[in-house]
Structure 1
């Protein structure tokens, strides 16, 4: 499932995650921590893999088209539980 989101919204989600959440997502999904960071706008492709993220220039950091929303869904799930 693809999803459109602004780059700033995506970074806000990442920045709102509690300490250790990036590692938790990576462990739960069986992927490298740097791959999760790349999903949220990082660019470390030596340790992490590229993710299906396409950026179009525009306001609010541009529009990001995510090919796979699994990491985003895990982050949102953590945020829901963290707010309780």
Structure 2
């Protein structure tokens, strides 16, 4: 599933995640932690993979077109879990 959000929205989601969430997402999706970090704007392609995000300059940090939302979906699940605690 594809989705478009602003870069600032993506960073706000990342910044709202509890400690350890990057590792949890990586473990649950069987991908490296660096790949998860790259999804949220990181640039470590030596240890992590490209994650199918495309940046378009503009307001609010620009637009981010996501080819696959699985990492974002896991992050949102974690935020929902923490909202219920």
Q: What stretches of structure 1 move > 6 A for 4+ residues in a row?
A: none
CA distances 1:9-56 after superposition (whole Å, capped 9, x unpaired): 000000000000000000000000000000000000010001100000
* Separation in 2, partners of 1:32, 1:38: 10
The answer for the alignment partner of 1:76 in structure 2 is 76
Instruction: Provide TM-score, normalisation by structure 2.
Output: 0.98
* Separation in 1, partners of 2:28, 2:79: 15
Secondary structure at the aligned position of 1:47 is classed as coil
Gaps of 5+ in 1: none
Secondary structure at the aligned position of 2:65 is classed as strand
What is the aligned length? 84
The answer for the alignment partner of 1:46 in structure 2 is 46
Pairwise CA RMSD: 0.4
